[in-house]
Structure 1
């Protein structure tokens, strides 16, 4: 039996701001951009792993109004989820990410006790984004 990762979901409050970060800053490519009932789902992929989609969607998508508001509240606190990326040039990737609009720097590149060198930011929606040196 083989199990593979296929999709990762990230909740974002502003699809355009998220798209600017993940596409324009980190270099992901749009796979799908679907609008329905006033909401958007944007699927992105990396060049090195096009079989794994990162889906950006708004808090209210597929939820009741009450649940959507609860998710939006958690998103605003920055406690929903995280995503981890690997790069061949941590310093350059971090520098670009740190300068992106709406991004909060949490940790500049450092060597961790577990052997990885990484950095951390919050994307424009408040999701934790960790970037490690490949």
Structure 2
């Protein structure tokens, strides 16, 4: 069942990346000093979600590695998950944490990806045709 959802999400992301609308793909959490960014790239049947969190404070920030995500299609949750916890990470000022999530064979439609790391949440709206 999970593979079917991943397959469907992949197709949808691929199609939506062909015609994407970027809305609010950058966010900053003042309390933590982290700034987040999400980008989408479609390669064949894969829709790749790249996310970056950057320490914009002047101090080292210690966070637990591993982001959580939710993928919605037409405002319905179709997948949620997370990157496995990767221990505590110390991000120096201006240092970045980068990762990606690949969805395969997503169907046509409107999507919203929500990525959360620590207290910073980043969203990205896109449409696959």
Which bracket does the TM-score occupy, shorter chain normalised?
under 0.3
Between Structure 1 and Structure 2, the one with more helix by share is 1
Compute the TM-score of the two structures, normalised by the length of structure 1.
0.27
User: TM-score, structure 2 length as denominator?
Assistant: 0.28
Q: Which has the higher strand share?
A: 2
